[in-house]
Chains A and B, each alone.
Chain A
Amino acid sequence: MALLEIRGVSKSFGGVAANVEISFEVEAGEILGLIGPNGAGKTSLFNAISGEVTPDAGEILLDGQRISGLGPVACAERGIARTFQVVRSFDSMTVLENVMVGAFARTARPPAAMRAAQETLEFCGLAARADRPAWSLSPPEKRRLEMARALATQPRIMLLDEMLTGLTPTEAQGGVELVRAVQRRGITVIMVEHVMEVVLPLVSRAVVLNLGRVLTIGLPSEIVRNPEVIRAYLGDRYAAD
């Protein structure tokens, strides 16, 4: 049985169909890419998986149990963690305190949360910044902070929303290594990106969304040659017949 099953999920906002009957499965331990042009419905689907929105139709199952409609708190408890496309750090707190908020999802004891948060910061390469205020971090550091905060909740599935977008090639390379390290911890990763050349070498499979629907699912090597994908990204002129 797959770890996460998306079954016929649809969600509309007013007249805009963000997700239309989306179905796919995520295997434990893989890195799954969720790609597609702007407005394809990637972030909407993330919001549904993390419980932030309830799908209008369809359901999402974690380990065979329905999690759609339970809300973000229950989803976090069951092991779904996420980062945000627009960084949402807790700016009145230090970096360590930010991560402790996540660590408190698994323990009520402050010393244990502090220890867990410190370990997570070391894992993410932010230990030297632990006592700095969160607002003072650079944009790539803030993305790492979000990652650390989410990791501190000890998730089974990590949803990364454009974690590598807007970074310089060196910073992006650092991010790629961090994602691999997360996977080695046994955490399943689903990542939204629209920079294909960054994401395709990293993922085991990719789901391509376009206009709210699943365009295709496959190995990275298949995806880049798929004429429909090329058409969605670049237009008809570039699609090979």
Chain B
Amino acid sequence: MENFITRRRRRELLVAAGLLVFAIVAPMAVKDVTALNVIILSLLFAGLAQAWNIIGGYCGQISLGHAVYFGMGSYVSTLLYVQAGLPPSAGIFIGGAVGGLAALLVGWPCFRLSGHYYAIATVVVGEIGYLLFLNWDYVGGATGVYIPIAKPSLINLQFGKDKLPYLYLTLAFVAATWLAAWLIEGSRWGYAWRAVKDDVVAARSLGVNIFASKMAASAISGFFTGLGGAIYGLYVGYIDPDSVMAGHFSILIALPAVLGGVGTLWGPILGAALLIPLKELSSSYLGGSGRGVDLMLYGAMIIIVALARPQGLVSLFGRRKHGAP
């Protein structure tokens, strides 16, 4: 059947394919290591923000504890490699699965709360996760874990000094999260989740199971967040609670989606493309003393966007004009 929705979805898929081709070809011309680093981090956070968007944007459950799933993913993948010798190419998916399971465990009690109360509960969960890992000797406590340098290979997902393979790894991650969001938008789940976001009472009167919807959205979001955390751990080569589980990661994961537009396919990517370069530039120009300045810049941007474009920057492009006024 041909109508507005099917045409819109096909157009989205075509735009995505075009962007993907561009993103595969263009970085080959980039030789500057710093620039590559910024692109890799932007891609990674675009994927993480898209993962957050699945629960926060489509299902409307604002989680501020995603650092836990992120950190779990990187710890599980790293420890499986260091302690058990499992190659990271498999380990990152187990990291993702643990992230998804963790999201289910968190959701079980927290989804008894709604709105702001749910958001506050996830902040608390984030802090608990951080403190647990900080004081847990088996996982390295505050000292953290180094990822031993191995022979460059796809199995180990290590590529020596070459950054381009990491770029394609994170690009694949963004593509996977985008595709997941696109598939969800067109599926029964996607409709149910958006109904849950808009009006819980009306949704359940139409047979939508609210708790199951939130749990499913949370698990998928947690899976991709854990996967992203595992990739991040591999990329930086060293993890400790401060570098993968600190509370500011929860904010950093959610902000691109909020800035770009929650509940949209392109918002998280657009938001990350703006925010992450800004963060990297401000911290490289200001050095150690710049810590915090990037957060001030975020704050200013969020305030401006909230005042001028509450639906996020993606609404500037005119597509999907519908949405609450």
Contacts and interface: CB of A to CB of B under 8 A. Distances in A.
Contacts of B209: 73
B204 A72 contact: yes
A101 B197 contact: no
B207 A93 contact: no
B198 A92 contact: yes
Interface in A51-86: 52, 71-73, 76-77, 81-82, 84
B198 A105 contact: no
A115 B1 CA distance: 8
Contact of A97 (B191, B202, B206, B324): B191
Interface residues of A, number: 42
Contact of B4 (A88, A131, A149): A131
B162 interface: no
Nearest to B262: A92
Interface string A121-151: 0000000001111111000000000000110
A1 interface: no
A108 B198 contact: no
Given A91-B198, A92-B323, A135-B324, A130 B204 contact: no
A131 B5 CA distance: 8
A14 interface: no
Contact of A92 (B1, B192, B205, B324): B324
B98 to A, nearest CB: 29
* Residues of B in contact with A, size category: 20 to 34
A197 B201 CA distance: 30
A133 B194 CA distance: 14
A105 B5 contact: no
Given A90-B198, A115-B1, A130-B4, A105 B206 contact: yes
B319 interface: no
Contact of B204 (A73, A93, A96, A131): A73
A104 B191 contact: yes
A15 interface: no
Contact of A82 (B186, B195, B205, B323): B205
B325 interface: yes
B5 A90 contact: no
B109 to A, nearest CB: 20
Contacts of B187: 110
A111 interface: yes
A111 B199 CA distance: 24
Contacts, number: 109
B3 interface: yes
A113 interface: yes
B161 interface: no
Interface string B173-205: 000000000000011100110110111011111
A93 B194 CA distance: 8
A128 B89 CA distance: 51
Contacts of B186: 110
A164 B132 CA distance: 58
A153 interface: yes
A183 B206 CA distance: 20
Contacts of A134: 322
Given A90-B195, A110-B186, A133-B323, A105 B263 contact: no
A91 B195 contact: no
B54 interface: no
A190 interface: no
Contacts of A82: 205
B208 interface: yes
A23 B34 CA distance: 76
Interface string A89-107: 1111110110011101100
Contact of B197 (A92, A94, A97, A149): A92
Given A110-B187, A113-B188, A96 B198 contact: no
A114 B198 contact: no
Contacts of A101: 191-192, 194-195, 203, 206, 208
Nearest to A82: B205
Nearest to B264: A92
Given A92-B263, A93-B194, A84 B201 contact: yes
Interface centre among B186, B195, B263 (most CB of A within 10 A): B195
The 7 nearest A-B residue pairs measured at CB: A133-B322, A76-B207, A105-B207, A88-B202, A90-B198, A131-B4, A72-B204
Interface of A: 50, 52, 71-73, 76-77, 81-82, 84, 88-94, 96-97, 100-102, 104-105, 108, 110-111, 113-115, 118, 130-136, 149-150, 152-153
Interface of B: 1, 3-6, 186-188, 191-192, 194-195, 197-199, 201-209, 263, 321-325
17 contacts: A52-B204, A81-B205, A84-B201, A88-B202, A91-B324, A92-B194, A96-B4, A96-B5, A108-B188, A110-B187, A110-B188, A111-B1, A130-B3, A133-B323, A135-B324, A136-B322, A150-B206
Given A84-B202, A132-B322, A150-B205, 20 more contacts: A52-B204, A72-B204, A72-B205, A82-B205, A89-B198, A90-B199, A91-B198, A91-B323, A92-B194, A92-B322, A92-B323, A97-B5, A97-B194, A101-B208, A110-B188, A113-B191, A114-B1, A118-B3, A130-B3, A135-B322
